[in-house]
Amino acid sequence: MNEKVYREVARFPSGSSAGKFYVVKEDQEGNLSCDCPAWRFKKPNQERRCKHTEAVASGKTPPAAPASQPVEVKPTDEVVSGIMADIEKARASKGWKPLGQALEDLEDETADAIDRAYDQERDRRMLVEGEDKPKDERR
Ligand SMILES: [Zn+2]
């Protein structure tokens, strides 16, 4: 019998779903695991990996944030223009479509683009020291 004990070592807020977290755990031998899609849906013939376990392995743990208080991420101007560029690219690659279909696609693409932008912004904040708390930017 070789029962494994897992210890939670880090918790990363999901970029797309507020209040959702990906949890990195460590077993007695120091092996890391994660419950994010990238980790769970490993591609065949590829090493199992995800950015969360890699961040933990390299010492870049996220700010501790209890599940009840998701980290709020406000997209910067840079991120927003990235989203717009992504949308334009996606639209251009598909060519003309009936308006209804185009609008439907646009919604999916917008959601995907926002998802990516949030992930990027969150990663950036995790790597910048002293920016672990969202600033109140309202004046
Ligand atoms: Zn992960």
88 three-class SS: helix
> Residues of 44-58 as b/e, b for ≥16 C-beta within 10 angstroms?
eeeeeebbbbebbee
User: 11 C-alpha to center of ligand 1: Å?
Assistant: 9
User: 54 C-alpha to center of ligand 1: Å?
Assistant: 8
Averaged pLDDT of the chain: 71
pLDDT of 44 > 70? The answer is yes
Structure confidence at residue 77 (pLDDT): 73
- Please give the radius of gyration of the chain, using alpha carbons only, rounded to the nearest integer: 18
DSSP codes joined into one string, 112-138: HHHHHHHHHHHHHHHHSTT--S-----
23 three-class SS: strand
User: 30 C-alpha to center of ligand 1: Å?
Assistant: 16
- 77 touches 137 (CB < 8 A): no
- 127 touches 18 (CB < 8 A): no
User: 53 C-alpha to center of ligand 1: Å?
Assistant: 6
| Residue whose token pair is 């672990």 | 132
Structure confidence at residue 32 (pLDDT): 92
User: 79 C-alpha to center of ligand 1: Å?
Assistant: 22
Structure confidence at residue 87 (pLDDT): 67
Q: Residue 1: which pLDDT band, with cuts at 50, 70 and 90?
A: low
User: 36 C-alpha to center of ligand 1: Å?
Assistant: 4
Q: What is the pTM of this model?
A: 0.43
d(CA 28, CA 36): 21
Structure confidence at residue 45 (pLDDT): 75
d(CA 124, CA 93): 29
Structure confidence at residue 33 (pLDDT): 92
User: 103 C-alpha to center of ligand 1: Å?
Assistant: 32
Q: Which of 9-13, 78-82, 124-128 has the highest mean pLDDT?
A: 9-13
Backbone torsions φ then ψ of 35, nearest 5 degrees: -115, 20
